[in-house]
Each structure stands twice: as structure tokens, then as C-alpha cells.
Structure 1
Amino acid sequence: MQKKVNPLSQALCRHMLRACSLCALSVLIAYTANAKSDGSPIPLLAYSIVDEFNHDISSFTQGLEIKNGLLYESAGGYGRSSLSISDFRARKPPAKHKGPAEAFLEGLTWVGDELFILTWRERVVFVVDSSIRERRRLQNPTEGWGITHLPTMGGDHLLVSDGSSTLTERAPSNWEALRAIEVTASGKPVDQLNELEFVKGRVYANVWHSDRIAVLDPQTGHVLNWLDLSALQSRFAKPAGWDAEEHVLNGIAYDVQTQHLLVTGKCWPKIFELKVEGVSSH
């Protein structure tokens, strides 16, 4: 029987974001040893750090998304799942909406004026409006990990991960499965795909328990580039209770205004704004 889940709470909690100094760090990237199907190496993308923002270390980050200048973040954990909304560039305190105790919130994405929020094992997808009022619920046949919108000729669809190497394209109206996409690098499956973000015709996918983001073609599933962010953890002191196995890179948001990426990790004290090769034109 489907587990009964209470609606998202409207209660707000505030956490102060401290201003942090501007950091600009160019990172030179060569090529990986992995190869494309034609034998040529899969290139790593170069990036530089444009800015840093404080991040709540209690937030077990699952999804990150920017809409109308606001940063939306879903965080997981039974009894501590939440949805936070912040005017991050003004470094204003975020509003935090507590999730239902019975649900482990996962990735999130906007399609039009609806925010889709996955749950891990509850197989429920919450659909809420801009005031975080629940509009409806959808039933998910698999675990929920990451989600992003996917523009198509037929309109906006959804692309969803379940921890495997397969991404599923779904209709936002009724969650109908439209297509399965097998993600591969050098002809080998890339599994444990987690948080997803659609950026300029490519899908950026966190690979669970790694410091790398796979940059893939959503039509073929082929990994075209890697974004290696292993250097980011050297940019902050590990807080008390740090768990190297679990507090890993996760969370990708694309800011269409700046053409920069925002990335963070589970329980990280920092969010990083990155200028990435092939994404940012300024």
C-alpha cells in the first residue's frame, strides 16, 4: 500500500547567510584517460570560481535550481527534509519549508509555474506552486533521485534519474514514461546518476559518491565531457561531524542571467558559482 504523506508545511525557519569574499580561481584541465566510442579522449571542462556563498551545513542537498533570481534547494533526510528558498545574491536569510517527516525529499525542478519535488523511496512526486501550496501528487514507479526539465519540440518534458544508468523522460502532466535514455561513457554504463540540470542542450548529472559531473547529450545518452570538481573541497574547512562517504558533491543550478553554474554538496558550508567552459560566454 502506498505510504500516506502529509502535505508540505508552510512553517518558515531562517538561517543567516554571511557575506563571503570574492574568489576567482582558474582551474586548468587536460583530458581524462576515458575514451569516446571513436577512441578519442573524453575532455574535462575548464572552470573558474567566480563567487562563494555560505551554505547551511545541516542541508543534505538533493536538488538545486534558480528561478526568477531565487535559489530553490531540496534537502533529504527522514524527519529533516526541507525546501529552502533564498535571494542568494543579496545574501538574504533563506525561508525553509519543512517537509513531511515520512518522506525523504530528493531532486526538484520547475516546469512553468509548477515545482516538482521527488521523494526517494515513497514513490510520491509533490507538485507545488510558487507559494509552496500543493497542487497535486504523482505516483513514481521507481526511486526518485534527480530531476530536470527537458525542452523538446513538443514542449517541456521532465528527465528523471533513479540511481541507475538510465534516465527516463516523462510527461509533466501525468508522469507518463516517454523514453528511456541509457547513459554511457566510452560505451560503458554510467550509473548512480543523481542530481540533474539541463544547460544549453546538455544535461549535467552528478555521479553519486564522486567529485565529477557527467555532461551528456540527452538524445544519445553519450557522455561528451566531464566536469571534475575535486578541487572544491580544499576551499573550505570540514565542519564537525563531517562524513567523507556521504557529504559529497551534489547540487547543480544554472543561472540563465549570468550563464554560470552554482554547485554545492551535501552538508557543505559553501555554494560555489562557476564559470564553465562551453557554458559561460562572459
Structure 2
Amino acid sequence: MKHTLYSILFFLSFLLTISCSDVYQFELAHKKQVTLNETFKITLSEKENKPIKSMQFFIDGKEVNSDNLSLTVNTATYGLGKHSVSALVFFDDKSKKINNSFEVLANKKPLVYKYKIINTYPHDTKAYTQGLEYYNGYLYETTGRRGQSSLRKVDIKTGKVLQKTDLDKQYFGEGMTIFNNKIYWLTWQAKKGFVYNLDTFEQEREFTYHKSKEGWGLTNNGVELIKSDGTNRIWFLDPGTLQEKRFLQVYTNKYAIANINELELIEGKLYANKYQQNTITIIDAKTGIVEGLVDLRPLEKEMKKTQNLKPQDEVLNGIAYDKENDRLFVTGKNWGKLFEIELIAKQ
């Protein structure tokens, strides 16, 4: 009896499978990788050409106008990076959503730069550098690690710490910037930042960030704070609410640049340390296009002549720019030297 029951159930299941063979099978066809400013087409199809009543296309969650079962996309509208694309299809008194994505790459190759050392200055070997900024003749620096994070005002020529305040031991300090005579300082994984009085180093307020993954680098463009979070995204924060308004995705003509760390805005370009790579990436702050790559690996070799560096830890990090005198400074985590360098494009 039990065997007969199982046979009946199996037969009914088989019949159900046959009856469901008429299920619609949709497909979104398009190029997976495209170049900025390129126009391409996205097409929806039903594998067996079954009738479709209507449909709607969405890119990054927003509905876009389409021509029947196809959509023409101008990548300039969406910018660099990965973008979601979906189609909501109505058929046979039913509906179904099909999801996919495309990736927009930069439309030009980055220039490659080498460098020349102009000057060398002393730097505190106990400074695990996270943020660095030049302001009114001094370097302002934030250091990391829990229980060791500090905010400092430093004399460039001597490396002497002129003013210092420590961060609460529960936090891991990260990047900083000076904006409207206030110091803004990020923490790593606490999703929290702090605002300090520039003159007294007294903490005046704190803020939280929720959209970006973590706190890494920080700079500003005179209107907004600009933040990295360890991915390939650069976030722009409202100076009043200190909330993330928007982001750029950073790309070369071949791939995304991840692990973006300390930031410095120089003449409309973002100079960014790429964590553990001992390189600086020069980024168009409006598009996210990587316009230049600076190979600073020889600086690590220069440091190793006088100092043992912990691999993958005591790496290049820290970029500061003296606009008035056109001086570019770089250093590293616990490095004993601060370098003034000049960038030279390779021919």
C-alpha cells in the first residue's frame, strides 16, 4: 500500500513538472563591461519567444524609459563603476523581476610617475600615520591603533610634536582634515568621527556615518568633506550634517582601485595612498577616473637603509600639500623620515 502511494505521488509530481514546462524564461542581454561615455543596448528576451504584455527597466533602482524590449544606455549618465540593471516583466497575468549588472571602466589610461626627493625631514617613529595635512606652516597628523591614537601639530623641519591630544582608547584613529578652522578626525570601524577646535585641540562634537563601510582617509574641497572607506568608493559629506551625500567609484581603464586610504586634494585631483602598495593614485575628483599612478616603492627601500619596517604594516601612508610653496610631503606608518618630493611623468 505504501509503495503504491509513493508511486502515485511520484506520478503526480511528474505531471506537475510537465505542466510547468510552459514557464517563461527571461534573459537580459548586454555587455558586462563598457567604457565611460560609451553607448550600449540592453535587451530583454523570452527564450522561446512567448508573448510579453509590458515591462519596465530600472538602473540602480530608478525606472528609465525604454523602447519596448530594449534600452539604450549612455554610460556618461551613470559614471564609473558597477551598476545594477533590472527588468520588471508582466506576462500571462503574472510578473517577474530579472536582475543583472554592468561595469563602466575609465576611458583613458593613467600616466605613470616617478619622483625626485627634494628634502628629507625627521618624523616620529612612534607615529602610526593615518592622516596628514599641511596648514599655516605646520603639519597636522593623526595616528592610529587602539590606545595609541593621537592628534598632533608638528614642526616640519625638526619633527618635534608641538601639540598633542589622545583619542579615547576604545577607538582606532584614522584620517583627518582641517575645514573651516575645525579638525575633523575619523575612526576606523566605529562609524564615528570627531570635531576638534583647531587652536586648543578640544573635542567639540562627534558625528556618525552609516552608508560608507569604514573610516579611512579624509580631505575636503572647501565645500564638502571627502572620505575614503577602504573600498573603491570616495564619499562626499555634507559639512553641516556630516552625512554621506553621494559617492564616486574609482577606476582605471582596466579595473577598480580598492583599498583607497589617506587622501589629499591638490588642484582638483585626489591624491590617495593605496593601502600596502606604496603607491599614490591620482584621481579626478569629479569622475573617479584614475589619471596617474605614482610608484613610491623605492622610498620604502630608502627607509630600510636606516630602519627595519614591519612588512604589510609599516607602509607608505600620509600625503600633505603646501599650496603656497608647491611642496608635496609623504611619509609612512612609523617611518623615521618625512619626504618632500617632486613628481615626474615617465616618458
User: How much identity, in percent, do the aligned residues show?
Assistant: 32
Can you give the 5+ residue segments of structure 2 that lack an aligned partner in the other structure? Answer: 1-104
Q: Is the 8 A contact 1:181 1:220 kept in 2?
A: yes
RMSD across aligned positions (CA): 1.8
1:118 aligns with 2:186: yes
Q: Is the 8 A contact 2:109 2:291 kept in 1?
A: no
Q: How many Å separate the matches in 1 of 2:332 and 2:148?
A: 17
Query: Larger helix proportion, structure 1 or 2?
Result: 2
Specify whether residues 78 and 37 from structure 1 end up closer, same or farther in structure 2 by C-alpha distance, changes over 3 A only.
Answer: closer
Cα distance, 1:175 vs. partner?
Answer: 1.4
TM-score in terms of structure 2 length: 0.65
Q: Secondary structure at the match of 1:115?
A: strand
State the AA in 1 paired with 2:294.
Answer: L
1:135 aligns with 2:209: no
User: What secondary structure is seen at the aligned counterpart in 2 of 1:44?
Assistant: strand
Indicate the SS of the match to 1:89.
coil
Q: What is the aligned counterpart of 2:129 among 61, 72, 90? A: 61
Query: 1:179 matched to which residue of 2?
Result: 246
Query: Quick check: 1:72 aligned with 2:143?
Result: no
Alpha-carbon deviation of 1:42? 2.1
Superposition pairs for residues 225-264 of structure 1, below 5 Å? 225-236=292-303, 237=305, 239=307, 242-264=309-331
SS at match of 2:338: strand
Tell me the TM-score normalized by structure 1: 0.79
Which of 258, 272, 275 aligns to 1:208? It is 275
Assess if the C-alpha contact under 8 Å between 2:174 and 2:217 holds in 1: yes
Contact 2:272/2:281 (8 A) holds in 1? yes
- TM-superposed CA distance for 1:239, in Å, is 3.1
Name 1:221's counterpart in structure 2. Answer: 288
Whole-Å Cα distance in 2 between the matches of residues 92 and 61 of structure 1? 15
Measured after TM superposition, the shift of residue 184 of structure 1 is 0.3
Secondary structure of 2:164's match?
strand
For residue 258 of structure 2, give the secondary structure of its aligned residue in structure 1: coil
Verify the 8 A CA contact 1:259 1:275 in the aligned structure 2.
no
Q: Name the amino acid aligned to 1:180.
A: F
- Mark the CA change 1:219 to 1:41 in structure 2 (over 3 Å): closer, same or farther: closer
**What is the distance in 1 between the residues matched to 2:191 and 2:167?**
15
Equivalent residue number for residue 216 of structure 2: 145
Q: Count residues in correspondence.
A: 237
Distance apart, 1:115 and its partner CA: 0.6
Q: Secondary structure at the match of 1:88?
A: coil
Unaligned ranges ≥5, structure 1? 1-35
Q: CA deviation at 1:128?
A: 0.6
Tell me the CA shift for residue 127 of structure 1.
0.4
Aligned AA for 2:310? D
Which amino acid in 1 is paired with 2:248? I
Shift of 1:145: 0.3
Q: Distance in 1 between matches of 2:306 and 2:126?
A: 13
Q: Which residue in 2 is equivalent to 1:265? A: 332
CA deviations over 1:196-252 (Å, ceiling 9, x no partner):
000001000111110111101011100001111111122233535x31111111100
Distance 1:83 1:201 in 2: 26
In structure 2, C-alpha distance between the alignment counterparts of 1:230 and 1:128, rounded to whole Å: 34
Matched AA of 1:139: T
Structure 2 residue identity aligned to 1:136:
R
The question of whether the paired residues in 1 share the 8 Å contact of 2:208 and 2:243 is answered with no
Higher radius of gyration, 1 or 2: 2
Deviation of 1:186 after TM superposition, in Å, equals: 1.1
Counterpart check, 1:191 vs 2:258: yes
The letter of the residue matching 2:256 is: P
Structure 1, residues 41-74: CA drift from partner, whole Å, max 9, x if none? Answer: 4211243211111111111110000111110110
Return the match for 2:163 from 89, 95, 98: 95
Mapped partners of 2:302, 2:326: distance in 1: 22
* 1:162-213 per-position Cα deviation (integer Å, ceiling 9, x unaligned): 1000111111211122211000011421110000000001000111110111
SS at match of 2:224: strand
Contact persistence 1:260–1:276 (CA under 8 A): no
